[in-house]
Structure 1
């Protein structure tokens, strides 16, 4: 009979995604068929699924830890923020609406049926479903209609493990305080707790650990020290992208747009020893020693064009190009590089037109139809194969399209400027293709490491499972599933 177990956190970004990925791999190594599940996720970094939809990037990584292809049932509700107050709502892989936060709160109870539908399908196919919560159950103001934490756990009768992040400080208050504010019936769903991200000697926390057990009556399953290789796993949040502190190498600068999306293109570059990757934040000028500027994807192309101009990055990029620098625009970033972005039907906001950066001779028109597919292409300048995916609305045309970035099934894709130093493409995830990444870097005189990116991620997942086995009572933790 299938069982399930849920990992919730005392707050956002306490390490739930990584713990679930490691536990998935630990279960697989025990011969258990396991699948990941997150009822509701909020992220603009999505992954294309085998069944033609999209889910959060963290669940795609967890699927990889299980040896599975990503499926929309693994993350049935995905929120993709488009403005400060509104998000696109994706249900079982397909966009159903764009709503403001207050309207979404009223919509949530209607989504529980889809959540349980996806969860029960996974339970029917796998021995174990490991569930990740979202945010924190201590946000009791969000408890009515909740589908992400205790609302789901109660509806699906899934036991919960609560995770606290000691690196933030106050972990005793995090866990004991959670029990104090949540409903007693919700607290009864919690089987125990994990302390995550401890730096130093874990035995120094023995007294605090016992204090939590005594105060809550919950069992502790262990203290997980800081996992140094966590940065090598694909990041779900652009703020989580970590790079080694390098002072030399090819300087690639990615603009941290206000609505940055699908930035998994950066993860393989960050691990190249010959690359110095900088995430440029609002208010920072483009460094003078920049070699390549990357304009990433965006959930609001015209909105982020305005954001770029507000930072002065448009002038910085033109000066960078005049000095002989290179620019690569990906998806929304590609659209921004043209002369014009038109949205006559208000697909990404109020209907209208915005002037582009003018670095490519193209123009873009937004359309309601969304292209969502895994894609195999050939990079025209190098002849190398690319395996990636497309996830975009709109189409781009213009003279520079006659010089394609790539070819897909004999059709031109993307565009190159006449001088070859500005490139744009709708292809995401291209740098995971090892031969292409090496050839692209070689074009800048940079030698790539002789490693396979996907294998490197697999190695980190194995090491993560080993780390959890060493510091948690994984057998008892998994045995608490029901």
Structure 2
């Protein structure tokens, strides 16, 4: 068959699975997508099931995992809900919100989701077939590991999906965490033989140092499993420039000087890729502050990021003593910005009378903004055009939240959207809140916003920087992996 670009591919697919979480599957798929696109293929990403609070708003009015939005960018496509039909957004340690084809359908415990999971395969396959019929190639990303055999019944994320769609699978191992030989050989040992028959090969990711030192280990894996090896990929140093699934998984190079922004790593942190453009600003130093650590005294600005559980993370924040740190920081003349759930936390009260995010009730906020928030069932999910009130600079962002906030500080809005006030600013001007995500991706706004704090404009064009990094990733993979062989597996 001849594909849409005369390539010989037509509606084919392959799947990248991993020996565990955070082995680099998302990055590998993004790089393969860019490599396939540069070969003239019409290619699309697909992840049947993702678990992440880092979501992207899609052009068709839904939400998907941010990693799939990045992979869409690698393909030259706008993100669509079909690219990630099942998205799980953790709300507690044992429960999550379930998003199906872009829309919330339920909240469930882990056990409850296990019962629901088999009913979702039809929708997953529907989304997959739509993408497959529209493109030469679909590159599928697994979730977690197929070695989690306790989750195999009703599986839609790994081998259950691969069997249903009859896909060749390539297994990626992470040598940086150690034990990669056992990771790959052990996966073959524990999975069902019929599942193992779908595995067409393996690759090793995140190698640091002299790759030849692993030659013997690489041969052992190939000999022991009988699987084809597609190469060893050295550590990609610029991976931090691409949005990550985990807020703490990738870090920019540490800077000793510059305008110091500290972001609180909340337990249910969401849409933390808001920080990505700031990480690349040469005049800015960003610290992601983990639990148990005190707020640095030299912080210029503290960001309270989005969260999937505003009241739950208010309790988490207080447990760290950060409420006291924030009060002291503000008293010293420091600035604070709350985004989405972080904005809600800054107010006097967060009320959830219907128990939408957890047990019904209300929680005292930080009291740094004169607003009150009430959680409501309706979820606001849209891209917006806004104007920053302080600078007059227009910018694009998106909303993805439940709850409505109001109070005296809303008379000093952060921005205007369709001529309506958005967000709030304290009377002293040092505490700001907004529901708008993605604002720092807008280069002109970011420069104006940082300029208010005396940070010189760097000229960074963030979108172009991400595109260059995707190209560099594809080059890196082409140099060290058998990319042609990988793409040739698709069927």
Note whether the superposition's TM-score is higher than 0.5. yes
- Residue 225 (structure 1) aligns with: 234
The equivalent position to 1:434 in structure 2, one of 422, 427, 443, is 443
Aligned to 2:70: 61
Match of 2:385 in 1: 376
CA–CA distance in 2 between the matches of 1:263 and 1:9?
A: 24
Superposed displacement of residue 219, structure 1? 0.4
Q: How many Å separate the matches in 2 of 1:363 and 1:302?
A: 13
**Structure 2 match to 1:48:** 57
Q: Alignment partner of 1:390: what SS?
A: strand
Q: How does 1:329-478 map to 2 (within 5 A)?
A: 329-478=338-487
Paired residue for 2:128, among 114, 119, 129? 119
2:321 maps to: 312
Q: Partners of 2:184 and 2:457 in 1: how far apart?
A: 45
Structure 1 gaps of 5+ residues are none
Separation in structure 2 between the aligned mates of residue 168 and residue 284 of structure 1, nearest angstrom: 25
2:183 is aligned, of 174, 192, 200, to 174
What is the CA deviation profile of residues 278-306 of structure 1, one whole-angstrom value per residue up to 9, with x for unaligned ones?
11111111111110010001111111111
TM-score by length of 1: 0.99
1:282 aligns with 2:282: no
| Offset, 1:448 | 3.3
CA–CA distance in 2 between the matches of 1:217 and 1:379? Answer: 59
SS in 1 for 2:26: helix
3-state secondary structure, aligned to 1:240: coil
Q: Does 1:158 align with 2:167?
A: yes
Work out whether 1:144 is the aligned partner of 2:149. Answer: no
- May I ask how many residue pairs the two structures share in their alignment? 482
2:217 corresponds in structure 1 to 208
Residue in 2 that maps onto 1:242: 251
Task: Name structure 2 gaps, 5 residues minimum.
Answer: 1-9
Cα distance in 1 between the residues matched to 2:250 and 2:396? 22
Match of 2:104 among 76, 95, 103: 95
Shift of 1:241: 3.9
Kindly state the Cα deviation for residue 473 of structure 1 after the two structures are TM-superposed: 1.0
The 2-side partners of 1:322 and 1:382 are apart by 25
Offset, 1:384: 1.1
Q: Distance in 1 between matches of 2:32 and 2:79?
A: 17
Whether the aligned pair in 2 keeps the contact of 1:43 and 1:81 (CA below 8 Å) is: yes
Q: What do the CA deviations read for 1:312-332 (whole angstroms, capped 9, x no partner)?
A: 111111111111000000000
**Runs of 4 or more above 3 Å deviation:** none
Conserved 8 A contact 1:241-1:267: no
SS at match of 2:30: helix
- Whether 1:132 and 2:141 are equivalent positions in the alignment is yes
Larger mean Cα displacement after TM superposition, 448-457 or 421-430: 448-457
> How far apart, CA to CA, are the structure 2 residues paired with 1:307 and 1:172?
38
Other-structure match for 1:252: 261
Question: Are the aligned partners of 1:88 and 1:99 in contact in 2 as well (CA < 8 Å)?
Answer: yes
CA displacement 1:153-186 (0-9 Å, x = unmatched): 0000011000011111111111111111111100
Which whole-Å deviations, capped at 9, do the CAs of 1:203-231 have from their partners, x for residues lacking one?
A: 11111111111101110011100000000
CA distance in 2, matches of 1:477, 1:397: 54
Query: Which is worse superposed, 202-211 or 408-417?
Result: 202-211
Shift in Å, 1:123: 0.5
The answer (yes or no) to whether the contact 1:16–1:133 under 8 Å persists in 2 is: yes
Partner of 1:33: 42
Contact 2:239–2:250 (Cα < 8 Å) also in 1: no
Whole-Å Cα distance in 2 between the matches of residues 448 and 19 of structure 1? 33
